[in-house]
Amino acid sequence: MRGITDTVKHLLIINVLMFIGTYAIGQNELFYSLFALFFPGNDLFQPWQVLTHMFMHGGIQHILFNMLALWMFGTAVEQVFGKKKFIFFYFSAGLGAAGLQIAYLYFKFNSGLNTLIASGFGKDQVIEVLASSYNRYDTRWLEVMDMTQLESFVGAFNTTMVGASGAIMGILVAFGMLFPNSKLMLIFFPVPVKAKYFIPGIIALDLFSALTGVSIFSPSNTAYVAHIGGALTGFLMMYFWKKDQFDKYRWN
C-alpha cells in the first residue's frame, strides 16, 4: 500500500479482517458477543472489549467512512508522531471515547435504577429482569417513570459500542492542530474549509446531536458522546505535546 504509513496500514488490515470475520463466522452474532463493547453491568461485558470494540463495525458504510478517514488523516499524523507515539495516541483517544460513553450510559442507567429502588423495587430483581432478555422490562416500572426515561434506562443496559470513530476523532483533532490551514471538504458540501475551522465544526455537530438527540449527517444510533470523548482526549494530549515539542517527545 503506497502512501500509507506502517501503523495505519496495519490498523486498516486488522479492521478489515475483523469485519470479514464478523459476517463470515457465527452469523454476525459470535464476534459481536465477544468483541463489541457492552455496558459493564451486562453479563456479556468482558474487559478486553474496551480495546476490541475499536476494530468492530456495524456495516459496510460504517467501516468505509472510518477507514477512509484513518487513511486520509492518520498517515499525515503518524508521519509527524512516529510509530510508537501514534499507536499510543490512537488507542488513548479510543479509550477516552469509550470511557466518556460508558460514564454517560452509567448516568442514564443509575438515574432509572435509583428511581425504581426509591419506589420499592429491589436492585437484584431489576437487574434480573433486564438480563433475562434483550430490551426486557417490567410493565410495573411505567407506574414510576415515563416511557422516555424507561427507554433511556433499558437502552443504556443493552447498548453495544463498536467502531474506530472515537480513536479517529482524536486523530482528526491532531491533524487539525498540526495542519490547521489544510483545506478539507465534505462530499455533500464541496466547499474547501481550513482544518482549523472544519474539524471544530464536525465536533460541534456531534455535541449538538449528543445534547438534542437530532442526527444530522450520521445514523441515529451513532455514539456521539464517544466521538466527543475521543476528540477531547486527542485535544488534551495535543495540548501537552505542543507543536514545538514534537521532536523532543517523538517516539521512534
Give the predicted TM-score (pTM) of the model: 0.89
Q: What average pLDDT does the segment 241-252 reach?
A: 57
Q: 252: pLDDT confidence band, cut at 50, 70 and 90?
A: very low
Q: In whole numbers, what is the pLDDT of the chain averaged over residues?
A: 89
Q: 206: pLDDT confidence band, cut at 50, 70 and 90?
A: confident
Domain 6-249, CATH: 1.20.1540.10
Give pLDDT tens digits for 23-34: 999 878 899 999
Q: 170: pLDDT confidence band, cut at 50, 70 and 90?
A: very high
Q: Which residue has the cell 501537552?
A: 240
Give pLDDT tens digits for 215-244: 766 666 788 899 999 999 999 999 988 755
Provide the residue ranges of all domains of the chain, joining segments of one domain with +: 6-249
